Amino acid sequence: MITLYDCATAPSPRRARILLAEKGVAHETVPVDLRSGEQLTEAYRRLNPQCTVPALRTDDGPMLTDNAAITAWLEARYPEPPLLGRTPQEKAEIASWNWRVEFEGLLAIAEALRNSAPAMANRALPGPVDYAQIPELAARGLARVQQFFVMLNERLDGRDYIATDRFSVADITAVVAVDFARIVKVKPGEQHPHLQRWRAAMAQRPSMSL
Ligand SMILES: N[C@@H](CCC(=O)N[C@@H](CS)C(=O)NCC(=O)O)C(=O)O
């Protein structure tokens, strides 16, 4: 049985949950309590030395310890529906947009949150090593999140999906990033009509309520 190590409140494992649902892959879920620091325990470290969620135990052997590996494995093992593109050009566009949404969206939110939240003091980056917060990075992160919304809104002008003319993993990453931006008080507003229309359309997919 495939097992997802998950945390209901965190954005990164939500990406894996949505992907599993879109692929229709049956799996078990093991919750990992990030709030109490379960990811840093010896027991979890043995499963995933990076001390992060998601992690996916596959039914044919390896433990996959990040979204990049989980996405690549799921697409190879369950090719339908293709979420990483069909043609070489689609694959390139989806990879490019997925990376932009990770870098300009998810990492910007993390920069804003992890460098300011009192509960994350000394945990400015995930993983086994503690890093101190840098308050200036929180301010920069917030500016980047706001710019991310502007960029995504412009991209979605006249488009139904982020990367190509089909739903892809870039849409999953973008929904997770846009929703998680609430944590730093950034939400789609009337200045983002294209982003709002796309987010409302994404809400029609049952996977997005996960
Ligand atoms: N590159 C990883 C990032 C995973 C990640 O940062 N996960 C966060 C939750 S969203 C985590 O496990 N944090 C643990 C911590 O903050 O100690 C992926 O996308 O799989």
Residues 122 and 64 placed together within one structural domain of the fold: no
Residues 109 and 197 placed together within one structural domain of the fold: yes
pLDDT, tens only, 121-176: 999 999 999 999 999 999 999 999 999 999 999 999 999 999 999 999 999 999 99
Task: Kindly tell me if the per-residue pLDDT of 37 is higher than 90.
Answer: yes
| Cβ(203)–Cβ(179) below 8 Å | no
Residue among 144, 15, 27 nearest 71 (CA): 15
Per-chain mean pLDDT for the chain = 98
Residue 184 tokens read as 């730093």
Residues 39 and 97 placed together within one structural domain of the fold: no
CATH code assigned at 116? 1.20.1050.10
Average pLDDT estimate for 104-113: 98
Q: Which pLDDT band holds residue 61 (cuts at 50, 70, 90)?
A: confident
Task: Kindly tell me if the per-residue pLDDT of 119 is higher than 90.
Answer: yes
Residues 94 and 192 placed together within one structural domain of the fold: yes
User: In which domain, by residue range, is 64 found?
Assistant: 3-77
Task: Kindly tell me if the per-residue pLDDT of 28 is higher than 90.
Answer: yes
Residues 133 and 204 placed together within one structural domain of the fold: yes
Q: Considering its fold, how many domains does the chain have in total?
A: 2
Instruction: Give the CA dihedral 10, 15, 18, 22, nearest 10 degrees.
Output: -170
Which residue, judged by its Cα, is nearest atom 17 of ligand 1? 126
Strand partners, 6: 31
| Cβ(55)–Cβ(16) below 8 Å | no
Task: Kindly tell me if the per-residue pLDDT of 4 is higher than 90.
Answer: yes
Q: Pick from 4, 6, 12 the residue to mutate for probing ligand 1's pocket: most ligand atoms within 8 Å of its CB.
A: 12
Q: Would residue 142 count as lying in a domain?
A: yes
Task: Kindly tell me if the per-residue pLDDT of 64 is higher than 90.
Answer: yes
Decide whether any atom of ligand 1 lies within 6 Å of the 126 Cβ. Answer: yes
The answer to whether the bond into 81 is cis (omega within 30° of 0) is: yes
**Residue 158 CA to ligand 1 centre (angstroms):** 33
Which residue, judged by its Cα, is nearest atom 12 of ligand 1? 52
Residues 109 and 71 placed together within one structural domain of the fold: no
* Rounded distance between C-alpha atoms, residue 93 and residue 74, angstroms: 19
Task: Kindly tell me if the per-residue pLDDT of 60 is higher than 90.
Answer: no
Average pLDDT estimate for 47-56: 98
Average pLDDT estimate for 15-22: 98
User: Whole-model pTM?
Assistant: 0.98
Q: Would residue 167 count as lying in a domain?
A: yes
Residues 97 and 67 placed together within one structural domain of the fold: no
One-letter amino acid at 90 equals: E
Residues 60 and 112 placed together within one structural domain of the fold: no
Residues 126 and 202 placed together within one structural domain of the fold: yes
Decide whether any atom of ligand 1 lies within 6 Å of the 168 Cβ. Answer: no
Decide whether any atom of ligand 1 lies within 6 Å of the 11 Cβ. Answer: yes
Q: Which atom of ligand 1 is nearest to the CA of 15?
A: 19
Residues 94 and 131 placed together within one structural domain of the fold: yes
What's the Rg (C-alpha) of the chain? Answer: 17
Decide whether any atom of ligand 1 lies within 6 Å of the 38 Cβ. Answer: no
Residues 118 and 191 placed together within one structural domain of the fold: yes
Q: What percent of the chain has pLDDT over 90?
A: 98
Residues 56 and 101 placed together within one structural domain of the fold: no
Decide whether any atom of ligand 1 lies within 6 Å of the 124 Cβ. Answer: no
